[in-house]
A and B are shown apart, each in its own frame.
Chain A
Amino acid sequence: MAAEEGKVDPMKQFTIEPLLGSDWQLADGLGIAFTNSALWMALTAVLVWVFVAGGMKRELVPGRWQMAVETMTGFIDDLLEANVGPAGRKYVPYIFTLFMFILFGNLLGLVPVGLIPGVHAFTFTSHFTVTGVLAIMSFSIVLIVGFAKHGLHFFSLFWPANTPAFLAAPISLIELVSFMVRPFSLALRLFVAMMAGHVLLKVLASFVIAGGGAGLGLGVLVGVPSFILMVAISALEILVAGIQAYVFALLTSLYINDAENLH
Chain B
Amino acid sequence: MDPKAAALLGAGLAAIGAGLAALGVGNVFAAFLEGALRNPGAADSQQGRLFIGLAAAELLGLLAFVIAVLLIFN
Contacts and interface: CB of A to CB of B under 8 A. Distances in A.
B73 A192 contact: no
Contacts of B48: 79, 82-83, 250
A185 interface: yes
Interface residues of A, number: 17
A214 interface: no
A192 B62 CA distance: 6
Contacts of A185: 59
A196 B66 CA distance: 9
B52 A250 contact: yes
A209 interface: no
A177 interface: no
Contact of A247 (B51, B66, B72): B51
Contacts of A243: 51, 54
Contacts of A188: 59, 62-63, 66
A246 B51 contact: yes
A251 interface: yes
A243 B59 CA distance: 13
Interface string B44-56: 0100100110110
Given A1-B73, A82-B48, A83-B48, A247 B62 contact: no
A193 interface: yes
Contact of B52 (A1, A11, A189, A254): A254
Interface of B: 45, 48, 51-52, 54-55, 58-59, 62-63, 65-66, 72-73
